[in-house]
Copies of this chain bind each other. A is one copy, B any other.
Amino acid sequence: MNKDIPIFSLQRLPVYLNYLRTLPEEEGNYYISSGAIAQALRLGEVLVRKDLAYTSCTGRPKVGYVRKELIAALEEFLCINNKKSAIIVGAGGLGRALLGYGGFTHYGIEIDAAFDSDQNKIGTYVADKPIYGMDKLNEVCKEASVTLAIIAVPASAAQGIAEKLVAAGIKAILNFAPVQLTVDEKIKVINMDVAANLAVLASML
């Protein structure tokens, strides 16, 4: 567990990783400076250096970081080589879109299954992933030692689902429902409120 890194620094690490991965593997990109990263990502250079200092990769004066080493250090810090399973609760539009999304594998995460209370969805598959009834939640999570979950249900159902997830052994929740979850403080939660973020953007204009 990355205890000592502030959450905002931690949330930027995948951004650095993504950016470094997209750079062409030319000789000229062998080294990359914190200044170049900062400019590309529109962040302050000091901030970038501070963030990257949490990883095991150290930059060299004047030239910066060895790109491959920095990628490896970020992958190590984010435990990407450590395969993990996740589940989704809610197989509506968003849940189904996430079931079909391939991007999780870039971080070593596999979505195992989704859960829903709709009898018409239970027993069907989306992108080869099964949709189970909520009564299977405990069994599936415990069998595969799943600790990661995505909540993709309406706001009114989210708190009840969160409690069921915690009871099933889930330790971290990515919450798309526009509601603050009340769970034990050991449970990690990141909120992805789409409408709120669009409202924030609108207020910046």
Contact = CB atoms under 8 A, between A and B. Distances in A.
Interface of A: 1-2, 7-8, 10-11, 13-15, 18-19, 22, 40-42, 77-80, 84, 86, 92-94, 96-98, 100-101, 103-104, 106-109, 147-148, 150, 155, 171-174, 178-180, 182, 185, 188, 190-205
A194 B19 CA distance: 16
A22 B10 CA distance: 30
Query: How many monomers of this chain does the complex have?
Result: 2
Contacts of A191: 15
A174 B194 contact: yes
Given A41-B180, A93-B96, A94-B97, A84 B14 contact: no
A152 B21 CA distance: 21
A201 B188 contact: yes
Given A1-B205, A15-B180, A204-B188, A198 B8 contact: no
